[in-house]
Homo-oligomer: A and B are copies of this chain.
């Protein structure tokens, strides 16, 4: 066994090495191809294949007990910084519109999946606590960033820049946390539900904060009407979407199943639901992932009971038609348990295809060259610490659950914080240098929580075995 494992590790290391060596070799070819008039699509096909294979190879981190998302981010960090050692294969990937779109679609699909695994009842149950966590998780980091860390650590910057630092620190990106909980099969825990709820409320609060900060920077004062309007729109959208969705989903399912009761229709209906919600959320200024999560939350297996795969069912019925009653019952039981998770299974291949692109691309945004500048690094670490502290304090109000898990689950700033930083940079408030620093803070808060959450969740598992359900 030990020897076999050693051989595995050898194989795997070999495979990783081959990919890492091949990439730059292929890269020269690619640059050559461009001048040969090869179309863009052909290159993107190759990029996707390399990203997917490398992401899968990075599943090796699971051998060290880490969630696979960590591996995908690290692959991204390696790919994104190969230019530092002279390999330029991945440079055009980062800037490519198609890859960026596929990544965004990937995180939308991920949150849709996560929404499917949650349900409205459970979310309502943890609602008040999620709201409290979100509120504290926004107020404390905003205060810390604008009035403490900003003036203290970055005294040379304007008040507006400190405002943006505060705004960036309020963000919560649910993508990473959701994926860690998914990797560890923990999406059904109350901690996960609180974090998901809080992250959505946080997104709405963040939207308001961004509007307020923008108004302050642009005109020097706050319009309470505009602030109220933006918040109202967001609340109205989410409430309306969930209400209308619950009302319509079953009816639409029945209608469409009459046109075509196959699994293709089921898949298209569910995915379109998610995409339309994502698009609507984006339209009113929320992150598309909030809409996708809401869509998943609304859809329940019951909405799809009119759909089935007639081929598989008739195949199976055929194969047991001569068997006894007992056999038939057992088979139908198996089929039932298969169809229950069917919608999730249908989404999975799409998620295998798209989700790694999102996490690898996120990793590629980390620029390691900044790390070699010690003063900048120390400063960045200090800001990161305050970013962590703000969210850990939010976890303290989560009630009778594991507070550290909730706190650390709120730490990742991910793409939401990035949007804030980009906005500040575009408005000329945040200089390019400070922007890079903020990006590192966002990245550290995105990657650090993964091993820590992993540790906390596994420790909770070990501790809760004797106590059973008492944690709930």
Chain A residues packing against B (C-beta within 8 Å): 8, 11-12, 15, 29, 33, 38-46, 48-49, 52-53, 55-57, 59-60, 62, 97-98, 100-101, 104-105, 108, 255-256, 258-260, 263-265, 267-269, 271-272, 275-276, 278-279, 282-283, 288, 312, 315-316, 319-320, 323-324, 326-327, 330-331, 333-334, 337-338, 346-350, 352-353, 356
> Inside 8 A of A56's CB, which chain B residues have their CB?
256, 259-260, 264-265, 268-269
Number of identical monomers bound together in the oligomeric complex: 2
Q: Which of B42, B350, B352 lies in contact with A279, CB distance below 8 A?
A: B42
> Inside 8 A of A39's CB, which chain B residues have their CB?
282
Q: Which of A267, A348, A353 has the most CB of B within 10 A?
A: A353
Min C-beta distance of A303 to chain B, whole Å:
16
Q: Can you list 16 A-B contacts (CB < 8 A)?
A: A11-B258, A39-B282, A42-B283, A45-B275, A52-B268, A56-B259, A56-B265, A264-B348, A267-B352, A267-B353, A271-B353, A315-B337, A316-B334, A326-B327, A330-B331, A349-B349
Q: Which chain B residue shows the least CB distance to A44?
A: B101
Q: Which chain B residue shows the least CB distance to A98?
A: B101
Whether A255 touches B43, Cβ cut-off 8 Å, given contacts A334-B316, A346-B349, is no
Asked if residues A8 and B330 are in contact (CB atoms below 8 Å), the reply is no
Q: Which of A46, A55, A323, A347 has the most CB of B within 10 A?
A: A46
Min C-beta distance of A205 to chain B, whole Å:
20
Q: Which of B62, B258, B323, B352 lies in contact with A268, CB distance below 8 A?
A: B352
Asked if residues A57 and B279 are in contact (CB atoms below 8 Å), the reply is no
Asked if residues A258 and B12 are in contact (CB atoms below 8 Å), the reply is yes
Min C-beta distance of A250 to chain B, whole Å:
15
Whether A338 touches B312, Cβ cut-off 8 Å, given contacts A42-B283, A60-B259, A276-B46, is yes
Min C-beta distance of A230 to chain B, whole Å:
13
Asked if residues B41 and A104 are in contact (CB atoms below 8 Å), the reply is yes
> Inside 8 A of A350's CB, which chain B residues have their CB?
349-350, 353
Closest 4 CB pairs of A and B: A42-B282, A49-B272, A46-B279, A49-B275
Q: In the complex, what distance in Å separates the CA atom of A334 from the CA atom of B11?
A: 34
Q: In the complex, what distance in Å separates the CA atom of A15 from the CA atom of B326?
A: 43
Q: Which of A8, A45, A283, A324 has the most CB of B within 10 A?
A: A45
Asked if residues B60 and A282 are in contact (CB atoms below 8 Å), the reply is no
Whether A334 touches B319, Cβ cut-off 8 Å, given contacts A48-B275, A59-B265, A101-B41, is yes
Q: In the complex, what distance in Å separates the CA atom of A46 from the CA atom of B217?
A: 33
> Inside 8 A of A276's CB, which chain B residues have their CB?
45-46, 49
> Inside 8 A of A55's CB, which chain B residues have their CB?
268
Asked if residues A282 and B349 are in contact (CB atoms below 8 Å), the reply is no
Min C-beta distance of A307 to chain B, whole Å:
12
Q: In the complex, what distance in Å separates the CA atom of A59 from the CA atom of B260?
A: 7
Min C-beta distance of A51 to chain B, whole Å:
9
Whether A101 touches B40, Cβ cut-off 8 Å, given contacts A45-B279, A45-B282, A326-B327, is yes
Q: Which of A49, A98, A323, A346 has the most CB of B within 10 A?
A: A49
Min C-beta distance of A103 to chain B, whole Å:
9
Whether A43 touches B272, Cβ cut-off 8 Å, given contacts A98-B97, A267-B349, is no
Q: Which chain B residue shows the least CB distance to A312?
A: B338
Min C-beta distance of A234 to chain B, whole Å:
15
Min C-beta distance of A300 to chain B, whole Å:
19
Q: Which chain B residue shows the least CB distance to A29?
A: B283
> Inside 8 A of A356's CB, which chain B residues have their CB?
268
Q: Which chain B residue shows the least CB distance to A59?
A: B260
> Inside 8 A of A269's CB, which chain B residues have their CB?
53, 56
Asked if residues A323 and B315 are in contact (CB atoms below 8 Å), the reply is no
Asked if residues B41 and A268 are in contact (CB atoms below 8 Å), the reply is no
Q: In the complex, what distance in Å separates the CA atom of A324 from the CA atom of B260?
A: 38
> Inside 8 A of A279's CB, which chain B residues have their CB?
42-43, 45-46, 49
> Inside 8 A of A278's CB, which chain B residues have their CB?
42, 45
Whether A272 touches B101, Cβ cut-off 8 Å, given contacts A42-B278, A60-B259, is no
> Inside 8 A of A255's CB, which chain B residues have their CB?
11, 15
Asked if residues A268 and B53 are in contact (CB atoms below 8 Å), the reply is yes
Q: Which chain B residue shows the least CB distance to A52?
A: B268
Q: In the complex, what distance in Å separates the CA atom of A319 from the CA atom of B334?
A: 7
Min C-beta distance of A395 to chain B, whole Å:
31
> Inside 8 A of A327's CB, which chain B residues have their CB?
326-327, 330
Q: Which chain B residue shows the least CB distance to A97?
A: B97
